[in-house]
Amino acid sequence: MGIIVQKFGGSSVADNERLLNVCKHIINEYNKNNKVVVVVSAQGKTTDKLVSEESQISKNPDKREHDVLVSTGEQITIAKLAIYLKELGYDAISYTGWQIPIVTDDIYGNANIIDIKTDKILQQLENNKIVVVAGFQGVNKEGDITTLGRGGSDTTAVALACYLNADKLYIYTDVDGVYSEDPNVNPNAIKYETISYDKMIQMAKSGAKVLHTKCVEMAKENNVPIIVKSTFVENEGTTVQ
């Protein structure tokens, strides 16, 4: 029994059928008597759609207002997922970044997390609730919404695992681990059982899309192993450590 952080990306939560599949992963951990914190991205191409709509209004939008806009995608996901879990008989509560709060600096569009107030999350876990957190977003000291840049939901998950001293961190994606190269291009690509932080950072900088550099650097700095698994296939994943 311990604290488990699970992160699900946009393709994993793209529609109601996939949300139900995500619920099964969450419930599986919860039924092992773990305390579960879930971090989610916006559904599918929601963020891209928002940015496209924004570009029709302004080619150079105000950075503060841009973050207010694009952060709404994750808010939709957390509410839907919490509603779904409740419908299945499991008590859940959703939080945006500013509700927790996840405190960041003032760099709109690529903010850095400087603190997470964990009291609210820990209280809800003690009440046996599943806590669903919006990834990719935080709030600065002036109370303005900020976003964390590319891979921001992964960064949120790693940071929460650090601040909550989680027992395990799972990042669920549409691949079943980290490969030596893209398995869709080369079917002979080798899947790693484990991979070092430094190797993963090197791969991310070279264009690998499984994890982004920022979240792996944070995991390395705080010695938090990341288990990369598929949302859709029941295979052993890759541990980044």
Answer yes or no: is 189 within a domain: no
Q: Is the dihedral of CA 122, 152, 66, 83 positive or negative?
A: negative
> What tens digit of pLDDT does each residue of 104-136 get?
999 999 999 999 999 999 999 999 999 999 999
pLDDT in tens, 186-221: 888 899 999 999 999 999 888 777 898 889 999 999
Residue 206 resides in a domain: no
**Structure tokens of 41?**
């991205």
Give the model confidence (pLDDT) of 137-180 as tens digits.
Answer: 999 999 999 999 988 999 999 999 999 999 999 999 988 899 98
Q: How confident is the model at residue 29 (pLDDT cuts 50, 70, 90)?
A: very high
pLDDT score of 235: 86
Number of domains in the chain: 1
Position of tokens 């570009």? 55
Whether 239 is in a domain gets the answer: no
- Residue 70 in domain: yes
- Cβ(205)–Cβ(159) under 8 Å? no
- Beta strands across the sheet bearing 113-116: 113-116, 102-104, 137-139, 145-147
Task: Work out the average pLDDT over 71-76.
Answer: 98
Q: Per the domain annotation, does 82 fall within a domain?
A: yes
CATH code at position 48: 3.40.1160.10
Is the C-alpha dihedral spanning 75, 76, 81, 87 positive or negative? Answer: positive
Task: Specify if 195 maps to a domain.
Answer: no
Q: What is the mean pLDDT of residues 30-39?
A: 98
Task: With a cut of 80, say whether residue 184 has pLDDT above it.
Answer: no
Average pLDDT, the chain: 95
Pair 77, 39: CB distance under 8 Å: no
* Residue 128 resides in a domain: yes
Residue 234: pLDDT band (50, 70, 90) is: confident
In a domain, 67, yes or no: yes
Question: What domain range is 136 assigned to?
Answer: 3-170
Task: Check the CA dihedral 204-208-212-216 and report its sign.
Answer: negative
Cα separation, 217 vs 27, whole angstroms: 30
* DSSP H stretches of helix in 37-96: 46-57, 63-70, 72-87
